[in-house]
Amino acid sequence: MAVGQGLPIKKNDLVAVIAGKDKGKRGKIVKVIPKTTRVLVEKVNMVKRHTKPGHGSKQGGILERENPIHASNLMLVCNHCDRPVRVGVSRLANSRKARVCKKCGEVVD
The CA distances from residue 103 to 3, 29, 42, in Å, are 26, 22, 25
29-66 confidence digits (pLDDT tens): 999 999 999 999 999 999 999 998 988 777 889 999 99
Q: How far apart are CA 82 and CA 30, in angstroms?
A: 20
Predicted confidence (pLDDT) at residue 10 exceeds the cutoff of 90: yes
Comparing CA positions, the residue from 1, 6, 5, 9 lying closest to residue 76 is: 9
* Cβ within 8 Å of residue 91, ≥6 positions away: 97, 98
In angstroms, rounded to a whole number, what is the distance separating the alpha carbons of residues 65 and 81?
A: 30
pLDDT for the residue numbered 59: 87
The model's pLDDT over 68-109, given as tens digits with 9 standing for 90+, comes to 999 999 999 999 999 999 999 999 999 899 999 999 999 998
